[in-house]
């Protein structure tokens, strides 16, 4: 993330006027979730009666959580002087997220010390209160590998993972110890064990902490495939790879995304794909979904939470507050050793209303009469832009 955040609210009318262009421009915490539990490496996940007796699961995933200064101020206002409360921001998607068997987010920034100071762009230090808000919304795990993972060095990385642990949110992509770095994040969903792996293209020039070359996972095709195979050996039925990649402000996937997506989805072991789903973040705009070599790839989901966004041309760009949430229904294999198949692939258009400081489920909002059809259609056209509809991708509700 290299652009600036424009301060101040932007009127809804201005967003609607520009949303169709391709350039320019308090909830209550839930009880601890019982949807998934940590899984020990190598733990068996087969249900009694063999593969056919196992139950499937739904997985939802969303884009970058990117708290600019304006977002931090809004969370403070929502807390009524009692710290920071990010739960109201996410309340609009809580129903969708909490209904899934497994929900994955992308925590792009690192957390500052309790009490602050907190900063937005260019070197982010976010309030740790984000972590319990993610948990309360229904998220089970977050990718933490991004170009901002080292904005506050090793200390920021450690604080972030500590806060996520305290909130009960699992994480993948950065690590505090060498042991943690090589241990796959294994999650339970239905009768499946799901591994989440995460990688980033860069850390904005910040060097990896001295003596800790494993602190942040950088994109390397060979390593990703090796990690996916190791996750299988550790007991994963489904391997999900979160990747922070792509060209900012470009709705079309770039050559590196296309090439790496093809290579990763082509990798097999004993006739079975090594990777079952790829979740992309970073570009700040929605990008397409595509089925590549039989595996779903989301090139970019866009920013789920962000302030008013300024693109590389120096203009306010409403696409920076548009995103999609992916929802995939996995079914168990009918024969031992086969892959878990995606029986249903969906996307749900989302929008962050910077004037109110709220994530908006566009389908639900439009059904309730809000005039947001143009925003929804812009996202839909991008998501389906590489022909995913022919492979069964549909807009969910």
Each of the 397 residues of the chain gets a pLDDT tens digit; together they read: 433 333 333 333 333 333 333 333 233 333 333 354 455 554 444 443 444 478 999 999 999 999 999 999 999 999 998 999 999 999 999 999 999 999 999 999 999 999 999 999 999 999 999 999 999 999 999 999 999 999 999 999 999 999 999 999 999 999 999 999 999 999 999 999 999 999 999 999 999 999 999 999 999 999 999 999 999 999 999 999 999 999 999 999 999 999 999 999 999 999 999 999 999 999 999 999 999 999 999 999 999 999 999 999 999 999 999 999 999 999 999 998 899 999 999 999 999 999 999 999 999 999 999 999 999 999 999 999 999 999 999 999 8
Per DSSP bridges, beta strands 272-273 and 268-269 are antiparallel
CB contact at 8 A, 335 and 97: no
pTM: 0.89
SS3 352: strand
Does the domain at residues 5-395 carry the CATH identifier 3.60.21.10? yes
CB contact at 8 A, 139 and 33: no
- Enumerate the domain spans of the chain: 5-395
pLDDT at 54: 84
Distances 75 to 147, 191, 296 between C-alpha atoms, Å:
24, 37, 35
CB contact at 8 A, 306 and 271: no
Q: Which residue has the tokens 């779903």?
A: 296
Q: What CA dihedral angle connects 68, 71, 75 and 78, to 10 degrees?
A: 170
Non-local (6+) Cβ contacts of 319 within 8 A are: 19, 22, 25, 249, 251, 284, 285, 286, 302, 309, 378
What's the number of CA atoms in the CB half-sphere (13 Å) around residue 103? Answer: 23
Alpha-carbon distance 50 to 378, whole Å? Answer: 45
Q: Which residue has the tokens 């039989």?
A: 294
CB burial of 213-240 (b: ≥16 within 10 Å; e: otherwise) equals ebbbbebeeeebbebbbbbbebbbbbbb
Q: Which residues pair with 58 in a beta bridge?
A: 329
Distances 312 to 323, 374, 391 between C-alpha atoms, Å:
19, 24, 34
Q: Which residue has the tokens 């639900």?
A: 364
∠ CA 280-251-346, nearest 5°, is: 55
């Amino acid at each position: 993330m290299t652009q600036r955040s424009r301060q101040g609210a932007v009127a809804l009318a201005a967003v609607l006027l520009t949303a169709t262009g391709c350039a320019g421009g308090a909830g209550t915490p839930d009880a601890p979730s019982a949807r998934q539990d940590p899984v020990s490496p190598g733990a068996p996940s087969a249900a009694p009666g063999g593969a056919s007796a196992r139950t499937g699961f739904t997985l939802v995933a969303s884009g970058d959580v990117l708290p600019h200064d304006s977002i931090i101020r809004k969370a403070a206002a929502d807390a009524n002087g009692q710290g920071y409360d990010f739960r109201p921001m996410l309340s609009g998607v809580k129903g969708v997220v909490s209904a899934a068997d497994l929900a994955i987010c992308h925590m792009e920034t690192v957390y500052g010390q309790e009490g602050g100071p907190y900063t937005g762009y260019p070197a982010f230090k976010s309030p740790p209160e984000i972590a319990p808000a993610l948990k309360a919304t229904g998220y089970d795990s977050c990718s933490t590998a991004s170009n901002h993972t080292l904005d506050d060095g090793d200390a920021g990385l450690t604080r972030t993972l500590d806060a996520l642990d305290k909130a009960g949110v699992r994480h993948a992509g950065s690590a505090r110890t060498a042991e943690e770095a090589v241990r796959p994040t294994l999650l339970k969903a239905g009768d499946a064990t799901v591994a989440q792996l995460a990688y980033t293209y860069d850390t904005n020039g910040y060097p990896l902490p001295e003596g800790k070359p494993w602190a942040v996972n950088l994109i390397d095709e060979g390593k990703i495939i090796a990690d996916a195979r190791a996750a299988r050996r550790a007991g994963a039925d489904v391997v999900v790879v979160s990747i922070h990649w792509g060209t900012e402000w470009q709705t079309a996937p770039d050559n590196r995304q296309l090439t790496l997506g093809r290579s990763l989805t082509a990798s097999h072991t004993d006739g079975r794909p090594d990777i079952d789903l790829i979740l992309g973040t970073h570009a700040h705009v929605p990008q397409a979904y595509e089925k590549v070599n039989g595996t779903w790839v989301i090139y970019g989901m866009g920013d789920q939470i962000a302030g008013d966004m300024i693109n590389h041309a120096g203009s306010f760009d409403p696409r920076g507050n548009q995103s999609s949430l992916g929802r995939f229904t996995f079914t168990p294999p009918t024969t031992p050793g086969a892959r878990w198949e995606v029986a249903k692939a969906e996307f749900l258009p989302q929008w962050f209303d910077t004037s109110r400081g709220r994530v908006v489920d566009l389908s639900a909002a439009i059904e309730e009469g809000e005039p947001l059809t143009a925003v929804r259609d812009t996202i839909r056209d991008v998501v389906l832009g590489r022909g995913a509809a022919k492979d069964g991708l549909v807009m969910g509700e």
